[in-house]
A = this chain, B = another copy of it.
Amino acid sequence: MGDMPRIWNETIEAHRDAVREATINATAALVAKHGLTGVTMSQIAKDTGIGRATLYKYFPDVESILTAWHDRQIDRHLQELHRVRDRSAVGLPRLEAVLTAYAQALFEWRTHDSDVSDTLHRGEHVAAAHQRLREFIRELITDIAATGAIRQDVPADELTVYCLYALTAATSLHDPAAVHRLVQTTLSGIRLTGTRATDPQ
């Protein structure tokens, strides 16, 4: 008896997830085809086969769907970075693998529609995602700092901010080899050996 509501709730939840997924997918496809301004709630309802009244119960407007889409993409990117971390050797190779994956994602993202980016990269959900990314990278750097492989004269949080900003240069680069060089250059900034040899003060 006690199981009935749980199963029912799970069914409802799965249904809701499916509606949300279908809506986000249809919207992403419409944006890819017609650009940001060519997307309406009516067309999304039509493409998904979801009634307009139902659609509005899930999302009040197109922008909220785009925000959900962007959230999902950020989530997937963060999950991918976690996977990269978990399959790399502990220490500097792990940091190098994660930073490489992040720089490559920025590099691939650079050619996306800049109108869409400008619209989506504002707002609180992006600030929260950046915060999660920053905490993820800081944790990696702190772990490696404990092994003595990176410079000790700069706090882990500052090294994290440095890494994230430096790697954003990937959005200005034109080929994958340059992205690789950017990661190497950025890593040289935080490695202990680099510091010892180059900071005479």
Contacts and interface: CB of A to CB of B under 8 A. Distances in A.
Interface stretch (A18-26, A29-37, A71-79, A166-174): A166-174
A159 to B, nearest CB: 7
Contacts of A119: none
Contacts of A182: 154, 158, 161-162
A109 interface: no
Interface stretch (A61-69, A80-88, A188-196): A188-196
Chain A binding surface, main DSSP class? helix
A199 interface: yes
A161 to B, nearest CB: 5
A45 interface: no
A182 B151 CA distance: 12
Given A172-B161, A173-B161, A188 B188 contact: yes
Given A173-B158, A173-B161, A185 B190 contact: yes
A14 interface: no
A153 interface: yes
Given A181-B153, A193-B198, A198-B188, A164 B169 contact: yes
A196 B178 CA distance: 19
A190 B168 CA distance: 17
A56 interface: no
A165 interface: yes
B169 A165 contact: yes
A7 interface: no
A97 interface: no
Interface of A: 151, 153-155, 158-159, 161-162, 164-169, 172-173, 178, 181-182, 184-191, 193-199
- What 4 A-B pairs have minimum CB-CB distances, sorted nearest first? A194-B194, A189-B189, A166-B166, A165-B169
